[in-house]
Structure 1
């Protein structure tokens, strides 16, 4: 799978081979509002406060979770899945100078790695997604919506400081 940047505002799409799984589009880049349609379900993500370090996840118009950054630079994603279980993940960079990320579950198991590949023509980063561990409680495509947004939020917060 690949996460491909489609715009300078952070919008991206996820492809499996040549088939598009979903797109996340920023409806208001300045305010950090984004939306994606996955299996005909609308997912909206928007900042909760003025400083934009925490965002809320809405699905079907209902708040189901949050994405935020902790003091140590790790992104925390938590949301309630379709079965009503609260899922928690941590997204972190895998190297100080690198643009790669890894996603871990609550048990500190690496679920996926996102390996950056720079496209100098676009001046944007694309990512190859490598799944390391299969969690049956997680819809990987839905989780990738949140992971992609969290990576963009991480870059925006760390480049502003």
Structure 2
């Protein structure tokens, strides 16, 4: 089981670390935007781009190839990944109405990770503690998926706050 941390360096950038080693960064182009870039520690870049009516779907792209997409559903955020020409579907949901924990489950309802948000009042931004399961740790692109899940959680919180 992995223990990851995502710290907001400002309201637009998040560093993802494992054992104090930087894995990658989620970089928003501007505050309160769904456009973002993922920069892995090896220098590989990916784009997160909103699509559809009211930016209802977000796609993760490696140049022009869509690697993953997600959209808000009634039960949470539905994530479809297309890594290695295999389609997998996941659900990221809030673990209770007033909870600060998000849970990622697969189609068999197996829990893959728990991400707990930690709001920093002094900085007005979020940090995250993420605990993964052995099943998640076996994924090929787990670090890229983790950074995308951070974007999903930020997307979720932005949608919920703007609806309230």
> Which residue is equivalent to 2:82?
80
Picking from 137, 144, 147, the partner of 2:146 is 144
Change (3 A) 1:137 1:130: closer
Native 8 Å contact 1:67 1:146 kept in 2: no
- Runs of 5+ in structure 1 lacking a partner? none
**Within-5 A mapping of 1:57-96:** 57-70=60-73, 72-81=74-83, 83-96=84-97
CA distance in 2, matches of 1:31, 1:49: 15
Q: Partner of 2:56 in structure 1?
A: 53
Structure 1 residue 27: Cα displacement = 1.6
Question: Contact between 1:41 and 1:59, CA under 8 Å: does it hold in 2?
Answer: no
Pair 1:111 & 2:112 matched: yes
Verify: 1:133 aligned to 2:143, yes or no.
no
Which is helix-richer, 1 or 2? 2
Deviations 1:80-127 (A, max 9, x none): 11x211121110111211221011112111100012223232222211
Shift of 1:73: 4.8
What is the CA-CA distance between 1:6 and the residue it aligns to?
Answer: 2.2
Decide which moves more: 97-106 or 146-155.
97-106
Higher RCO (C-alpha 8 Å, min separation 6):
2
- Give the paired residue count: 158
TM-score by length of 1: 0.88
* Residue in structure 2 matched with residue 42 of structure 1 by the alignment: 45
- Residue aligning to 1:33: 35
Identify which range, 98-107 or 119-128, moves more after superposition.
Answer: 119-128
**Gaps (5+ residues) in structure 2?**
none
* C-alpha separation in 1, matches of 2:10 and 2:79: 23
Partner SS state of residue 108, structure 2: coil
Alpha-carbon offset, residue 31 of structure 1: 4.3
CA drift at 1:150: 0.5
